[in-house]
A and B are shown apart, each in its own frame.
Chain A
Amino acid sequence: MFEQPFMRLALVASMATGAMLSMVGTYLVIRRVVFLGLVLASAATVGAAIAQVFAWPPELASIAATVATALGLGTIRSPRRISAESVMGWAYAAATAATVLILAGTAGADLDTLGLLYGNLLTVSKSHATGLVALAVVIGAVQIPFGRRFLLVTFDPEAASVAGVNAALWSLSLNLLIGVVAAAAVHEIGALLTFSVLTLAPAASLLASRSIRSTFAVSATLGVLLPCLGIAVSFYLDLPPGPAGVALLALCVPVASVIGRWRDTAPRPD
């Protein structure tokens, strides 16, 4: 299966994006803002669509649009009468509509563009795969020293602020990190798989884990393993690899729920 170079590149891209997305996605799920993942992935597609109109580099445009969205959602306070979730719903709908409308009015918006927007694991180039691995290393390197701070502002931002930590700034930095990762991943693995790894791997992990370390470890393992397994399944069953990975991640959540309940009720040694 992996004798073909494109399959090896797909595997590398899948592992790198899976590791990054599941790691930053754990914060999204803990903060109960999974919809933010969908909004950021949609913002990436708007950036790519605008890049198509002006012939800009699509990756940079996507990252710029996602970072701008993360900054906007992080700094603009939601109106008093609707929830933050509603604001994100508005942002998602607006971004999706903008993408379709921009592309509808753009000459030459064809299947290649759709591939650019929604990704195709089997067409990842060597340079892109290398870029994803480099980004995954950077994200991991950021997580090691600053993970404790991210958890602090996630668990109790007010107490952190009182203790002198700039919770708003750390929270914004985390959103930016998630935005950059989501934008980079959307181009290679598509919005659906990006959102799924970002939210389902951490959700399954939180259901089954009983410590912070194991939450991040299990989330990363599922995020890396299941999309790769999706590639293998798609190869042998002649299915699209992205949705196959999503299906495996979706299946994983109820299984994790059962494991979590079993662990909660199982007698513990004294």
Chain B
Amino acid sequence: MMNAAFGVSSPSAEAKKAIRHPMTADPLLTGRMLSLGYHGRALIRDLSFEVRRGEILGVVGPNGSGKTTLLRTILGLLKPLEGTVERRADLTISYMPQRERIDTILPVTALEVVLMARSARAGALQRIRGEDRDACRSALARVGGQTLSDQLYRNLSGGQQQRVLLARAIAADSEMLILDEPTAGMDVASEAAMIGFLQELNQDLNLTVIIVTHLLPIVLNLASSVMLLGARRVLHGPVGEVFQETVLSELYGAPVHIGTVAGKRTLVVDRPGGRDV
């Protein structure tokens, strides 16, 4: 069920009606011996990884560690300096960018923003059909944005804009969802609700999720695997194996403790003054 803090009641049965992607063992995405960076300068070297269907991969690391670079490479927006990224041939990906990357000068409604997902998938000459509108309204309803439909995107709050962008990402019915700092600017209740919602999408639709975030607790509680980008190395594996206090303390330059509060795992940094987390 949708978390009430996300600002919604439970989505209707129709809103939840979506394609469930089948389980397969083959990787959807494979990176081989990647060197990633800009202008010939590598931020990340010799990175190899696989992303399998149904996985939730959290990509975390300090500022400047190459999270966005990795994300742009996976999305095909940036060519690797070395190595290859192989996608399964028919893999469809939806991308939810950081809210700040979207210009609000255009007077579009929330529904029109979501419709762009269907418009992008359709051919250049293909018209938007009634069923596309219905699918987009359902996507908005799934994220609790049914009342936002006719409101101008630029007039929405930051959290509401995040929801609309998430609705756009899921309206495309893609197999893989890639999110860049999806909880940026959200209050804690909305953040918790977003985590719950992503878990729900993953469980209900077997959607594969890659989430890039600064916030380690999100990955601790949401992801099945993690890619931890550091200055000298990249750690990739199950969350329980990678998120060790000693590893995190070394990475962030401050003692980091992992604990549990009210059934949720969280992190505490012992003292300020370490590297920017």
Residues of chain A having any CB pair with chain B under 8 Å: 29-30, 32, 80, 145-146, 148-149, 151-152, 154-156, 158-165, 206, 209-212, 214-215
Known A-B contacts A155-B103, A158-B101, A162-B76; the reply to A211 vs B120 at CB < 8 A is no
B121 CB contacts on chain A under 8 angstroms: 163-164
CB <8 Å contact, A215 and B97? no
Bound together, the chains give a CA A164 to CA B121 distance in angstroms of 7
CB <8 Å contact, B152 and A159? no
Residues of chain B having any CB pair with chain A under 8 Å: 39, 75-77, 93-95, 97, 101-103, 105-109, 112-113, 116-117, 119-121, 124-125, 128, 152, 168, 172, 178
CB <8 Å contact, A145 and B124? yes
CB <8 Å contact, B125 and A211? no
CB <8 Å contact, A206 and B101? no
B97 CB contacts on chain A under 8 angstroms: 156, 158-159
Overall SS of chain A's interface: helix
In the complex formed, the residue of A with least CB distance to B104 is A155
Bound together, the chains give a CA A210 to CA B105 distance in angstroms of 11
CB <8 Å contact, B107 and A159? no
CB <8 Å contact, A206 and B124? no
Known A-B contacts A146-B124, A212-B112; the reply to A162 vs B75 at CB < 8 A is yes
A161 CB contacts on chain B under 8 angstroms: 75-77
Query: Shortest distance in angstroms between A171's beta carbon and chain B's nearest beta carbon?
Result: 14
Bound together, the chains give a CA A30 to CA B154 distance in angstroms of 13
Query: Shortest distance in angstroms between B148's beta carbon and chain A's nearest beta carbon?
Result: 15
A159 CB contacts on chain B under 8 angstroms: 95, 97, 116, 120, 168
CB <8 Å contact, B75 and A30? no
A149, A154, A155, A209: which contacts B124 (Cβ < 8 A)? A149
In the complex formed, the residue of A with least CB distance to B72 is A158
In the complex formed, the residue of A with least CB distance to B152 is A210
In the complex formed, the residue of A with least CB distance to B125 is A145
